Amino acid sequence: MGLHDVMRRALEDHDAVTCRRLWKYVAPNMPQPQSDLEAEITMHHACTQANNIRFKSRAYSHHWLKDHGYPSGLPDYLRPRAERMYPKVVDAVGIAVSSMSEAMEPVIPIIRGAMENVVLEHYADGVKNPEILKPRMLEARDQAIKKLFG
């Protein structure tokens, strides 16, 4: 088995360590990755462009690149099929605030805004756990009500 065969197998298996080691032998005149992350990005991008790699592996690399905010090299005609294999998962939080009293209608957006701010702050920090978010949202709601009505 030659170096190119080993490299193709490493690309197909998403083995960034082997790809990084082989890259200096397969393409010695090309720029070499300086970090593990750069090697992984390069490996996935190469995998999306290689025609001799299984489609499932190319689709996974496309998904990995898009999920991490990097451009994919997958041809446009293959993208819909790849995105069906690995659909994008979207997080959502539901916030519902209502009241039986019409007098409370003007303050509902303020209470909902306080709860929304908690969610936005936690999502900005990468915290998406409902067990953490829900109590914090309820605490923000209680504080907003206390501020409004004493």
Q: Report the predicted TM-score, pTM, of the whole model to 2 decimal places.
A: 0.60
Contact assessment for residue 148 and residue 99, using Cβ atoms and an 8 Å cutoff:
no
Average pLDDT per 10 consecutive residues for the chain, totaling 150 residues: 84 89 86 88 92 93 92 93 83 87 88 94 90 94 90
Residue among 51, 90, 83 nearest 64 (CA): 83
User: Rounded to whole angstroms, how far apart are CA atoms 90 and 82?
Assistant: 17
What pLDDT digit, counting tens, does each position of 105-115 carry? 889 999 999 99
What pLDDT digit, counting tens, does each position of 7-22 carry? 889 889 999 888 888 8
Q: Where are the beta strands (DSSP E) in 1-150?
A: none
